[in-house]
Structure 1
Amino acid sequence: MKISEVATPNFLLDLDQLEKNIDKIQQICTNNNKQLWPMLKTHKSTYIARLQKNGRC
């Protein structure tokens, strides 16, 4: 699908980058002895919440 074919408004993600970002913030928290809590309200996506929860947060 071409970007011009996507109906707007829409929400698009680079899933590889999303996973890298989740891992990065988790590592920062781990290194600083902090606990990261996923916030569903921020993105309103059960898929992203699962990524955050499953071994990451």
Structure 2
Amino acid sequence: MIEKSKWIFCPICKSKTRTKVCAVTILINFPLYCPKCKQESLVNIKKYKIAIVKEPDAETQSQ
């Protein structure tokens, strides 16, 4: 049986990312990076459903 895979879309800007998953793929606390908006989000993915764990806060830069 050939399993279909789908592209994962960014939960912030809704554009396609470089990550593909199958229906049986389960990702927990996966750092999903979007090349378009250059944001990284922690997500859980199960049966093509994306749930945002949390969006990373802006990191302060120390000098």
Relative to the length of structure 1, the TM-score reads: 0.25
Relative to the length of structure 2, the TM-score reads: 0.24
- Which has more helix, going by share of residues? 1
Structure whose alpha-carbon radius of gyration is higher:
1
- Which has more strand, going by share of residues? 2
